[in-house]
Amino acid sequence: MSVGRSTVCAVNVVQTYRYLQPSALRDTGLDLQTCGGPAANPRFCSGFLTTPAAAAAGLLAVAEVARTRYHQPVSPASLDPVVTGSQDRLRFESFSGCCGVYARMDVVPAGFDGEIVGHGTTNVDVNPPLREALARVGGIDPLHLAVGPDDLTVSTMDDTVVERKVPLPGRWLRGFAEVHVLTAGFEPRAEIPAAEATAFLRRLPSNDRSVLWAVPAGRTLRLTSRPTPGAVCLAGAGRLTALRGLLRHAHTLRVYGPAVRAGAPAVASTWELDTGALRLSLTLSPEPYRGFSGEGAALLALAGDEVIDDAQLVGALLSWEPTIDVAALADAAGLPDDRVRAALAQLGTAGRVGYDVAEGAYFHRVMPYDAGRAERDNPRLVGARALVEQGAVRRDGEHATVRGGDGDYRVRRLPDGSRTCTCRWWARHQGQRGPCRHALAASMAAAEVGV
């Protein structure tokens, strides 16, 4: 959790994180320092990773994504991955500096021999010396994971505390909010053995930024320039480079994505290596220059009023189960499944819920951001609320006319519930990056009268 000062800047929030000491690989094992959690500087978990070399490679990959900007590369950033402990597994997550790649390593029960004594979410310090030490792990070298000491509180300040200011972009929160909404609609599209996966990934050019499509072809994948039913979008093949370090440990490569048709636009996709003890996945934005923070998939979840009340109820019932059972949660909340799913989407905008495509289920985490930040920082949502408050929406049955600063815009509701608009923004994106502010305002106005 974040402690110390928090200052809002135009792009970043500079939060002060305090570590007892730098993270390090010691004789006793891997000691990952945390900035907090369910208790002050807790011992989040303690135990051995059963596949140390693979775990070291996976953690390096997550950290490498966090310090890489794939679009218009610049000097490496210094952003700390997020770790969540929930009963029998650990999850490490990060976004790239351009927010176009989401990385996650899931250490499943087979990969951890120890005890998770505290459930929660925090940031961990993966510094250059630790990266160098992890790179040397190999063979049967033991790797013991102790996430954060539990003998100090975050309020304790003395000469042994390492204090670092880490710029956490507000884009990370919006990215977490968008990714879980997008991936919840993914299905498994292909699974190929390790040998074929290695050959396929090593053939990909490391600097390629074009939009390609991967089509299952026997035991491997073939690339094409056009989408066909069953294909998976591969936007910027060079962004899969971080998977290569884990290839020698992997059993299979699985690929996930939404259903597409011929002529479909570029979409997001997830590429996952599975070693049996852990899973490393990279989720790619629809195009190399697009960050998840601007996709707009979560806007409708943020805009509703009923769903906010449902989210408060569902949020109070969340526990630290490895996956969230929607049916059980619906029974406990006394709500239908579809309203629980909508509430989970709303909770995801505050970083409280993520989605695991391998499990096909949501999972619980708590991010170090205030719950309303994703909504306040989204200009389309802010603009839509202003239009409603100004009475700029004039409804006409299921359609509406919205008065903007430079004219009126016609918003039409389609049979599938989505809305089109005559504004320039919608004409440019054709609904591929979520609704425009006029369509959002029309949705809000319709919800107020129960339509």
Specify the CATH number for the domain of residue 86: 3.10.150
Last residue of a domain, one of 229, 260, 294: 294
Residues 202 and 275 in one domain: yes
Residues 139 and 184 in one domain: no
Residues 255 and 390 in one domain: no
Residues 284 and 384 in one domain: no
Q: Give the pLDDT confidence score for residue 3 in this predicted structure.
A: 33
Range of the domain at 271: 177-294
319 found inside a domain = no
The model's pTM = 0.81
Q: Give the pLDDT confidence score for residue 281 in this predicted structure.
A: 98
337 found inside a domain = no
Residues 158 and 181 in one domain: no
Nearest to 89 by CA among 307, 364, 448: 364
Q: How many CA atoms lie within 13 A of 240 on its CB side?
A: 25
> How far is the C-alpha of 211 from the C-alpha of 225, rounded, in Å?
7
The token pair at 285 is 């934005």
424 found inside a domain = yes
Considering its fold, how many domains does the chain have in total?
A: 3
Residues 198 and 105 in one domain: no
Say whether 412 sits in a helix, a strand or coil: strand
How many Cβ atoms sit within 10 Å of the Cβ of residue 52? 23
Per-10-residue mean pLDDT for the chain, 451 residues long? Answer: 32 52 70 60 71 90 89 62 81 89 94 76 72 77 64 27 46 81 92 95 83 93 93 94 95 96 91 97 92 67 70 84 86 88 79 90 75 66 87 88 87 86 87 84 78 51
Say whether 13 sits in a helix, a strand or coil: strand
Residues 157 and 257 in one domain: no
Residues 61 and 80 in one domain: yes
Q: Give the pLDDT confidence score for residue 356 in this predicted structure.
A: 94
Q: Give the pLDDT confidence score for residue 13 in this predicted structure.
A: 46
114 found inside a domain = yes
308 found inside a domain = no
The percent helix, strand, coil of the chain (3-state, each to 5) is: 30, 30, 40
190 found inside a domain = yes
Q: Give the pLDDT confidence score for residue 187 in this predicted structure.
A: 95
